[in-house]
Amino acid sequence: MTLDAEDSKLVTLARAARARNGSAEGAAVRDETGRTYSATNVALPALTLPAVQVAVAMAVSSGAQSLEAAALVTAGEPSEDDRHLVASLGVKELIVAGPDGTVR
């Protein structure tokens, strides 16, 4: 799958967040104004959140009304909840890449 420059940027941001925090997942989203938000999964004893949910929460809490694109970098597979969440905000397909950045 070949991505355009803006979608490739999301994969790069998600990979960087994942690497910086040593996390299992990294995600990045782009809102309707072109702003981007990147995040990692949260794995605390009292709170566990997937990276996609954290990135979407950041965007929405910053005023985003919809999303243009979303990317997840993980060794695993995205959950149906992640796919449904981004779809509910307008994303046609969640971009999924492995830790090396290869889009699947």
Q: Please calculate the CA angle 32-94-17 and round it to the nearest 5 degrees.
A: 80
* pLDDT-derived band at 2, boundaries 50, 70, 90: confident
* pLDDT-derived band at 61, boundaries 50, 70, 90: very high
* pLDDT-derived band at 25, boundaries 50, 70, 90: very high
- The alpha-carbon radius of gyration of the chain (Å, integer) is 12
Place of tokens 């998600």: 14
Backbone dihedral angles phi then psi of residue 34, each to the nearest 5 degrees = 95, -5
Q: Please choose, from the candidates 85, 104, 102, 93, the residue with its C-alpha nearest in 3D space to the C-alpha of residue 15.
A: 102
So where are the chain's domains? Answer: 1-49+64-71+86-104
| pLDDT tens-digit map of 26-53 | 999 999 999 999 999 999 999 999 999 9
